[in-house]
Amino acid sequence: MTVKINTAEQAASLIDKYDTFLFDCDGVIWVGNELLPSVKETIELLQSKNKKLIFVSNNSTKSRIEYIEKLLKLNINNIKLEQIINSAYSTAIYINEVLKLNKDKKIWVLGQNGITSELQNFGYETLTLDDIKDKELTMENINNLIDLNVGCVVVGLDFQLTYLKLCITLQYLLNKDIPFIATNIDSTFPFKNTKLPGAGSVVEIASFSSNRKPDAICGKPNPGMMDSILSHHKLNKDKTIMVGDRLNTDMKFGSVNDIDTLLVLTGIELESTVSNGHPDVTYYADKLGDLYALGSK
């Protein structure tokens, strides 16, 4: 049963029920460069009640520090770096804590610095085309470009994608013993009034050429990201709620992982889609800020 949060009592009861709030950002906390109404007050209310707040994004190219900076600019304070989880960080947590990859193994990364730096922070040695020195970087030389110490492949969005990078990635993926980890599977991302190919498109070409599915996908709505969050933050699923504005990523992320969800209507979904009930939505509200605003009336 999907319930609309309409009253001060409902808002208070929802806040009481959960210890941890996972937030999608765009369409929930902000839209573009504008903070949404009463979000600051809601965040502060949750902080005053010692709730754990985690901000969850699929973007692996933006660093977590940039998220903190954006929150600060919007006057949301007291958020620590570990409260920001993007798909690059989630991937690094997954490899370290779930996959428990040995630190003497290198990780081949088809992706940006956002990914390599998070992996390096956990003590892993990463390998990209830029790291291959003193070798002829051609297809003809493919057999010499493979490093036998590579023990894991990470694929995500790579603005410097080339055919040779795909060739090398395929060589590792042809070895079925090497885990294939994807940051996220968004097919596109919005950019300058249009769309550009997203991490999911890069994952798809690696997947299609190797005839393998990723062993884990560390973005919403896939379990890999939830595994990372739960493992890293030692959360209790029954006391955790996912707040988002999209059914196909945020709400699905909650429901496939058996976590309650709150849909806010400040993004792309309409009330009519959920007012008769939706299997992925536990609660919905006009806006996140209602958790504060309904009680302050």
The catalytic residues are 24, 26
Site track for a second copy across 28-47, x = CB under 8 A: --------------------
Q: Is 220 annotated as a binding residue?
A: yes
Query: In the numeric block, which tokens belong to residue 43?
Result: 């965040």
How many whole angstroms separate alpha carbon 84 and alpha carbon 79? 8
Alpha-carbon distance of 254 to 242, in angstroms, equals: 6
* 58 carries a ligand binding annotation: yes
Going by C-beta distance under 8 Å and a sequence separation of 6 or more, which residues neighbour residue 241?
Answer: 14, 17, 18, 20, 21, 22, 254, 259, 260, 261, 262, 282
Confirm or deny that 59 is annotated as ligand binding: yes
Q: Are strands 283-285 and 3-4 parallel, antiparallel or unpaired?
A: parallel
Pick between residue 85 and residue 202 the one whose CB is nearest to a second copy. Answer: 202
Binding mask 111-150 for a second copy (x = CB under 8 A): ----------------------------xx-xx-------
Is the omega angle on the peptide bond into residue 221 within 30 degrees of 0, that is, cis?
A: yes
Question: In 238-273, which positions are buried (b, 16+ CB within 10 angstroms) versus exposed (e)?
Answer: eebbbbbbbbebbbbbbbebebbbbbbbbbebeeee
Q: Which is nearer to a second copy, 165 or 287 (CB)?
A: 165
What CA–CA distance (Å, rounded) separates 261 from 12?
16
* Terminal CA-CA length for the chain: 27
Residue 245 assigned as binding residue = yes
Q: Does 276 bind a second copy (CB under 8 A)?
A: no
Residues from 229 through 268 that contact a second copy (CB under 8 A): none
Q: Which of 17, 49, 103, 195 lies at the binding interface for a second copy (CB under 8 A)?
A: 195
Q: Of the listed pieces 16-24, 31-39, 196-204, 264-272, which binds a second copy according to CB under 8 A?
A: 196-204
- For a second copy, the closer CB: 44 or 204: 204
Phi, psi of 106 (to 5 degrees): -85, 160
Phi, psi for 36 (deg, rounded to 5): -80, 155
CA angle at 34 for the pair 29 and 37, rounded to the nearest 5°: 60
215 is in an annotated binding site: no
Q: Evaluate whether 206 touches 173 at the Cβ level (below 8 Å).
A: yes
Q: Tell the smallest beta-carbon distance from residue 59 to a second copy (Å).
A: 15
Measured distance CA(50)–CA(226) in Å, rounded: 22
Q: 6, 160, 275, 296: which one contacts a second copy (CB under 8 A)?
A: 160
Q: Quick one: which of 125, 147, 204, 286 contacts a second copy (CB under 8 A)?
A: 204
Q: Measured from the CB of residue 207, what is the shortest distance to a second copy in angstroms?
A: 8
Q: Interface with a second copy by CB under 8 A: which range of 98-106, 118-126, 185-193, 254-262?
A: 185-193
Size of the site for a second copy (CB under 8 A): 33
Is 19 annotated for ligand binding? no
Segment interacting with a second copy (CB under 8 A) among 157-165, 228-236, 241-249, 278-286? 157-165
Residue numbers at the binding site for a second copy (CB under 8 A): 139-140, 142-143, 158-163, 166-167, 170-171, 174, 187-188, 191-198, 200-202, 204-205, 208-209, 211
**Which residues are part of a known binding site?**
24, 26, 57-59, 220, 245
**Which residues are part of a known binding site for Mg(2+)?**
24, 26, 245
